Structure 1
């Protein structure tokens, strides 16, 4: 993705918040114009259609996730600790409301009603996330820090479903701590007992 202008970055940041707050159909260019303080034609200049806007947001979101996972793998050797750091990232985001819900998870709940290009980008993010979690679990098993009952791919999907479900529970209860309360036992079950 090419470097975006400051205005395009502001539009994308606003779009992210609006999607997390109300989903794909919960906002319009008029909402963005009001929040960012620009006119709708300026938004159309950067993102001609809502599909263009949301697919650009999802491409940015994916790049951020890729960079985050690379950073985790560079900074933390133990695969179980990488999963802990991933969980801590979301726990912090939920607690401080900086990113209280995964944009792709929220959009996945709207998948049947999403335009095709947006749905493809959401599915691609889930495949990417599944591949990363699977690789972390595989490495943890090989290094003897993670114990699995089922194949890594199955466990990765269960892990992702639990993360996204824990986000939903934290939101439903209005209790940020609910996320960690759900995720901690899962991590403990995966850890090899020493």
Structure 2
């Protein structure tokens, strides 16, 4: 990897970490420059303005987070997939006390350019779509019971995940994430078994 790509990646890595811990408006190019060891003016070579940096950071995060969720073993029963999903979120909060960048960015929505808002919407829809498919699968196989339409429950689950990550970090209790998610569905015995 050449130095330019390495510096660019380092800037994106640290921007993602700062967004996850402080929010979009909680850091500056100076913070990045000090961490990566470049001049503040040098960052403009890679990202002419902070909006460019933030958009790329959220795009990158969205791709990585989506890949992790969609990489959950498709052969698992729906309740086990939801367990793996909760484990991913719990691990994120436990490891670095960071939140989902999507949730952090959404809280700054009024100050974000439309290009970043579009990336956030796609990310949220992707996560909700995955949850909806898992819920539909669980209903079809008789392994889950929910109290509303799968799409509605999926949106509620993703909202619960975002909110519970906040409280999990506040109280340093990652188990709050799983508790919030599990309150929205009921496990059933597999009828095929």
TM interval, short-chain normalised: 0.7 to 0.9
1:153 and 2:151 are equivalent in the alignment: yes
In the other structure, the counterpart of 1:82 is 81
TM-score by length of 1: 0.87
1:186 and 2:146 are equivalent in the alignment: no
1:133 and 2:131 are equivalent in the alignment: yes
How many residue pairs match? The answer is: 187
Stretches of structure 2 that go unaligned for 5 or more consecutive residues are: none
Rounded Cα–Cα distance in structure 1 between residues aligned with 2:66 and 2:174 = 25
Rounded Cα–Cα distance in structure 2 between residues aligned with 1:52 and 1:92 = 29
Give 1:181 deviation, angstroms.
4.2
Q: Deviations over 1:139-167 (max 9, x none)?
A: 11112111111000000011111111111
TM-score by length of 2: 0.88
Rounded Cα–Cα distance in structure 2 between residues aligned with 1:165 and 1:38 = 36
Rounded Cα–Cα distance in structure 1 between residues aligned with 2:48 and 2:73 = 37
In the other structure, the counterpart of 2:51 is 51
Which residues of 2 match residues 161-176 of structure 1 at below 5 A?
Answer: 161-176=159-174
Q: CA RMSD in A?
A: 1.9
Stretches of structure 1 that go unaligned for 5 or more consecutive residues are: none
Q: Is the 8 A contact 1:95 1:177 kept in 2?
A: no
Rounded Cα–Cα distance in structure 1 between residues aligned with 2:84 and 2:174 = 17
In the other structure, the counterpart of 1:14 is 14
Q: Once structures 1 and 2 are overlaid, which stretch shifts more, 18-27 or 83-92?
A: 18-27
Give 1:169 deviation, angstroms.
0.8
Rounded Cα–Cα distance in structure 2 between residues aligned with 1:137 and 1:178 = 20
Rounded Cα–Cα distance in structure 2 between residues aligned with 1:13 and 1:180 = 27
Q: Which runs of 4+ in 1 moved over 4 A?
A: none
